[in-house]
Structure 1
Amino acid sequence: MNAKGEFNRDSDYISTRITADGRDGFPVEPGRYRLVVARACPWANRAIIVRSLLGLQDVLSIGYCGPTHDERSWTFDLDPGGVDPVLKIPRLQDAYFKRDPDYAKGITVPAIVDVTTGAVVTNDFAQLTLDLSTEWTAYHREGAPQLYPEPLRAEIDEVAQRIYTEVNNGVYRCGFAGSQDAYDAAYDRLFVALDWLSERLTDRRYLVGDSITEADVRLFTTLARFDAVYHGHFKCNRDKLTELPVLWAYARDLFQTPGFGDTIDFDQIKTHYYVVHTGINPTQIVPKGPDLSGWHTPHGREALSSRAS
């Protein structure tokens, strides 16, 4: 939070990469690494989706933290005894401290842990999914989508950057604003971007090119949480997602695509935001709504041109 009450996200992550040639000391190896996530977290949700879409389940194991955490760390409270069955730790911070005993930054998900040492390799959520697409290709399933095709990378990067600053992080700028002016400015920026996305998706099925890319993954995780959390909890309430026809249909299209909707747990999502953010919701009461049955209704976007005419 700066002096104006504006929320600023710390973006200094552990940038070590897992690559095909192992240039950072961590070569791609089946079974060596464990992806630690929480279904509640939109940044981790990206990694869950990409792992599923690319068919990496048999070569990159996954560990799920529970939907809530304390000031210290995400925890493995969903597992028997509250201990991850592979890493044998109760708290994700144990893997961070294994890498750096003096690690002083946030214990974040997603994180990839080297099972052989028990230490975190990376928590750079943006680069992590790009590397799953480009460095793990030898282990992609047959017919796996190209989420980051080289001819479209410049456009994907441009669109994804705007999605990150204005939408993914934009909802947080609204929710954690510390002044009326900061909130008003964040609110306006968010809905300018959502209107731009609605216009872009009016005559194309996906954001870039003619198939699902990294850009769609990055937008989806915020849209999936919009009505359940961000509209009320973060005061992003000009419109619900269900009141934005193009984005609502687009979100349902992705939700009904294998690898997207089956990664979403709305109960965990709501529990996380409404219980953990006591500064916004001191009662920790989790709302029963909204009605989520609409996610399974027809979206009608199959016939859309994937590229603007």
Structure 2
Amino acid sequence: MSTRPLGSWNDGAAKRAIVGFVTAAAEEGTSDFVPPADRVAVFDNDGTLWVEKPAPVQTAFVLGKLAERMKADPSSADEWPYRALAAKDESFFRALDAQEPEAVTSMVKAIGAAWEGTTFGEFEAEAARYLASWHHERFGLPAPGLVYQPMLELFDYLRAYGWRLFVCSGGGRDFMRVISEEIWGLPRENVIGSAPEFAYRDGVLVRRAVLHGPVALGPGKPEYVLARTGRLPRFAAGNDDVDVEMLQSAQFAVLVVHDDDEREYAYSDGAARALATAREAGWTTVSVKNDWNAVLRQTPVQE
């Protein structure tokens, strides 16, 4: 692995734009200067920081839990989205894959009910067991091995200039927090997004079947960022339509374009609006094929 800053990034327009913005933001006394307190950088997770195809890392964890609930209570198969899961409704799975808000919201509600009453520690233990055994079907790697090397380098580059980093995920906030320190070096409080309310009962915190705020998709993302940081981001990165509002809220926006079916996957489903907005707004687009000379994490991953 290169020891140069952004060594896995090819010398192209995307890298030059990122370097130009970050270095200019550090130049005190100029119009481009960003005060240290305002140096907030926010990243989407699935498809932006790690591989999301053929399904996000968390998918099997969630589906397994919902399958357990249907087995314990067969009548739940008559409810939505259990009915779609029981019927293996491909249109529903495509909607989930494209992160269509209606489909995701229905799943989030089902997830809330499935883990209702579970303690904070019990949920984390379940997620940790899953992550310890799960491997990607194509690459054969555990979750930490699916992180994009160029994005890890971008994290280090931004940190060197005094930026505070956050992940805003439409998936489960608490699931990501289990491994955020291991895979990104981010404290768990810097992972924000979709999560349940908690209640303090008999001396312990338990999950409720009520969502804490909106689902972290579309407008929900900048809403979560503002609530957590008290600021809108100056730097934001995403990869599809549900990231558009977060990217629009930032001073500098990066859109990752998946176009490399040899080293990763080539797809644009769920990203048509993001691509059109990027062209109109002049966002920095990052081609996996052309802008990254390495894709997956290059540091050793412990099994």
Please give the TM-score of this superposition, normalised by the length of structure 2. 0.31
TM-score by length of 1: 0.31
Structure with the larger strand share: 2
